[in-house]
Structure 1
Amino acid sequence: MTDIALPESLAQAHERLTNALKMAERPLDSAMLLAVSKTKPASMIRQAWQHGQREFGENYLQEALEKQAELADLESIVWHFIGPLQSNKTRAVAENFAWMHSVDRLKIAKRLSEQRPEHLPPLNICLQVNISREASKSGVMPDEVMALAKEVAALPRLNLRGLMAIPAPSDSLAEQRAPLAALRQLLTDLQVALPDAPLDTLSMGMSDDLEAAVLEGATLVRLGTAIFGARTTQ
């Protein structure tokens, strides 16, 4: 367990996002905090929910499903899957999540489309872009985003909402902003090419680059340690 005071850390995270939005001269409701709760117990998620947090991101499928079962009584909780996903595990995501941030190939999108239950709203999809072209990172390459987006947008039971990226680390604000600006431009290009798709989401920005991401138009920022404390070793 961690000795972090979760209500205070959650409030600080929201304050940091608010300050970043003010600095960027953006509306205060134009970006949302996604609490990354991977490796954290369901009791901490419940506590964050009790203090107003509704959006939670999970990376590990089996762990997430166990938490969802334990927290099934919580109303209005929104689950985002933000980690890599093997094609043989898509059904569980299609059936149990509202958002999937890490689609980087058509095979995964097709399976999610086919497996999304009819009684649920369409699954919100972000394409993960390898915006810094790192060999160690997942994601579709920037010059392949348009082709993949057109195919995903045509699939039933999915809503293509936008793009997600984890840029290479940088120390300066200018260096942080460059790949995030490139991701924003990709989204703008998609909005022109696919005017009927609900493309309104940039999932980018974490603890080290939140301010840069907000300056470049992030609508979902992903914070974990800043809210829940140091990550538990699995």
Structure 2
Amino acid sequence: MSMTRKRFDHINQRIAEAMQNSQRSADSPVTLLAVSKRHSWDKIQALYELGQREFGESYVQEALEKMKQSPHKDIIWHFIGPIQSNKTKDIAPNFHWVHSVDRLKIARRLSAQRTTHETLSKPLNICLQINISQEPQKSGFSTDEIFTAIAEIMTLPHLKLRGLMAIPKPSKAPAEQKLAFKQLRELMQQLNQRFNLQMDTLSMGMSGDLEAAIAEGASIIRIGTALFGPREY
């Protein structure tokens, strides 16, 4: 058995066990997002052959090169990295999801630039990045300002507001991990209720805390090195 297969099976087993332990039902699935940044196309292809279809990238030019290499039309590409304003023109038409919308300006530009694409009829799925641990060095909406910002974001015509994303302050304590994820889940519930939204996605959890994230309702977990091995470049 290849190392890729072993890693893939191991992560999926952890997900299954976390789902069982948290008593998550089958109608509340968890999507495994393979974070392929800084990994070669060959490694993406190896996971594709095992059934993986959703891949996350953080660097625009690197991602576009991989998209050109890919013969597969059924790959779902997620942008998960920091977004510079001048990169939205490439992100908007080429990705299916963007997880890292961290300010109004970026949301406006993504909506405007999605219109230049042949898939105009398909809005861009977005998650709003929340600085859930209130770390000054991290980007993202605060839990206060999101209530003001979302009122405009929900009106942007070429975006589909799917949910929230967060990267909490690292912790090895399961209770602390769960607390941050619980706060994000409750925030989404509050926003849905106040603005009559139907957000359904919590992008949260990585290899070190996926069990806590799943227990608190994660929809998408983002796994990189634990799937691909050490980054190549």
Shorter-chain TM-score tier = over 0.9
- Listed one character per residue, the Cα deviations across residues 182-206 of structure 1 (whole Å, up to 9, x for unaligned) are 10011001111232x4400000000
Counterpart of 2:23 in structure 1 is: 25
- Offset, 1:27: 2.1
Unaligned runs of 5+ in 2: none
- Listed one character per residue, the Cα deviations across residues 105-154 of structure 1 (whole Å, up to 9, x for unaligned) are 11111110011035321000100001001112111111111212221111
Counterpart of 1:174 in structure 2 is: 175
Letter in 1 for 2:114: R
Map 1:126-165 → 2, pairs under 5 A? 126-165=127-166
Unaligned runs of 5+ in 1: none
SS in structure 2 opposite 1:192?
Answer: helix
Map 1:150-229 → 2, pairs under 5 A? 150-195=151-196, 197-229=197-229
Map 1:93-104 → 2, pairs under 5 A? 93-104=91-102
Residues 79-88 or 22-31, more deviating: 22-31
SS in structure 2 opposite 1:126?
Answer: strand
Q: Residue 159 of structure 1 contacts residue 198 of structure 1 at CA under 8 Å; is this kept in 2?
A: no
Letter in 2 for 1:192: Q
SS in structure 1 opposite 2:161?
Answer: strand
Counterpart of 1:86 in structure 2 is: 84
Q: CA RMSD in A?
A: 1.2
- The sequence identity of aligned pairs, in percent, is 50
SS in structure 2 opposite 1:143?
Answer: coil
* TM-score, normalised by the number of residues in structure 1: 0.94
Residues 20-29 or 82-91, more deviating: 20-29
Letter in 1 for 2:126: I
Letter in 2 for 1:135: P
